[in-house]
Amino acid sequence: MATFGYSDTPLLPGGKWHVHDGNRPQPRVVTPARVPGGAPSDAVVLFGGGDLSGWQSVKGGDADWDIIGDTMRVKPGAGDIRTKARFGDCQLHVEFSCPAEIKGEGQGRGNSGVFLMGVYEVQVLDGYGNPTYADGITASLYGEYPPLVNACSCPGDWHTYDMLWTAPRFDGVNLVSPAYLTLIHNGVVVHNHVEVMSPTGHRDVYSYKAHAPAGPLKLQDHGDLVSFRNIWYRPIGCYDEV
């Protein structure tokens, strides 16, 4: 049997492994999807079409949005929905489409939101040729950071959000470290490991409040017919956990 690596090399700083350590565990194998945006083999599929059995209404009871083929669409007045699954640090993939027929302007055009852990919002909006305040445009960390660029495509097109999310850490009621977000919108980096200032609100500055280390994904009913599909996440561990 072949022997790989070395045991006579220096220890890596702060760790227990040597440089090129032959005893260091191999990474587990994950099979990537064969189609762009598809869920890899170790992903947790939150919505792949068919039904909303993995979701519930924030108001209480079953989720009551419309199912159209492999998509779900906001049913205005039904309220926000959230996953039954809970997660902390993760890789998250979401696809959405704002209505092809343009109605309204600014925040009144194709508005919804993706709330990580049910608390921290990445804005969903038809931001194609639609001026609004910068920290409320599509892919903004709402109320905090505009995206680095506006990567919106035409109304009716499908958009992709690919996120790397680091959950905040608390010690009792005290914040130990804030949340961090990297977001790729339609293949374009629009947030690069930005520090999330606080939970999302409107027209004010808010403060962190201690919460559980895992939370749901929430999608917003803002009254517009926004559709979603192909939503999945992968928990992300640290190197010592893999």
Q: Which of 135, 116, 101 is nearest to 227 (CA)?
A: 101
- If DSSP codes are grouped into helix, strand and coil, which group holds residue 95? strand
Q: Average of pLDDT values for 12-32?
A: 91
Least confident of 89-93, 149-153, 233-237: 233-237
Neighbours of 229 (CB within 10 A): 19
**Whether the Cβ atoms of residue 177 and residue 167 lie closer than 8 Å to each other:** no
Mean pLDDT of 25-48: 92
Token reading at 47: 């919505």
Please tell me the distance from the alpha carbon of residue 16 to that of residue 72, in angstroms, as a whole number: 48
Q: pLDDT tens digits for 97-134?
A: 999 999 999 999 999 999 999 999 999 999 999 999 99
pLDDT of residue 3: 75
Task: Give percent above pLDDT 70 in the chain.
Answer: 97
Q: Which DSSP string corresponds to 141-161? A: BTTTB--SS-----TTPEEEE
What tokens were used for 228? 């979603």
pLDDT digit string (tens) for 122-171? 999 999 999 999 999 999 999 999 999 999 999 999 999 999 999 999 99
pLDDT at position 1 is 43
For residue 149, tell me if it sits in a domain. Answer: yes
Average pLDDT over residues 197-201: 93
* E-assigned strand segments in 79-226: 81-83, 90-97, 112-116, 120-124, 158-166, 169-171, 174-177, 180-185, 188-195, 218-219
HSE-up (13 A, CA, CB side) for residue 123: 32
% of the chain exceeding 90 in pLDDT: 88
Q: How large is the average pLDDT for residues 208-227?
A: 97
Instruction: With a cut of 70, say whether residue 2 has pLDDT above it.
Output: no
Task: Compute the residue count for the chain.
Answer: 242
- Would residue 17 count as lying in a domain? no
Q: Which domain holds residue 183?
A: 44-241
How many beta carbons lie within 10 A of that of residue 219, not counting itself? 28
Amino acid in position 167: A
Residue 168 lies in a domain: yes
- Can you give the pLDDT at residue 203? 87
Burial (Cβ within 10 Å: 0-12, 13-18, ≥19) of residue 121:
buried
> Residue 24 domain-assigned?
no
Number of domains in the chain: 1
Two structure tokens written together for 75: 């049913």
pLDDT digits (tens, 9 = 90+) for 172-190: 999 999 999 999 999 999 9
Q: Is residue 35 included in any domain, yes or no?
A: no
User: Which tokens sit at 140?
Assistant: 């903004």
CA distance 55 to 65: 10
CATH number at residue 86: 2.60.120.560
Q: What is the pLDDT of residue 240?
A: 56
Does the predicted TM-score (pTM) go above 0.85?
yes
pLDDT of residue 35: 87
Sign of CA dihedral 102, 106, 111, 113: positive
**Residue 86 placed within a domain:** yes
Per the domain annotation, does 113 fall within a domain? Answer: yes
CA 27 to chain centre: 24
Q: Is residue 114 part of a domain?
A: yes
C-alpha to C-alpha distance for 214 and 13, rounded to whole angstroms: 30
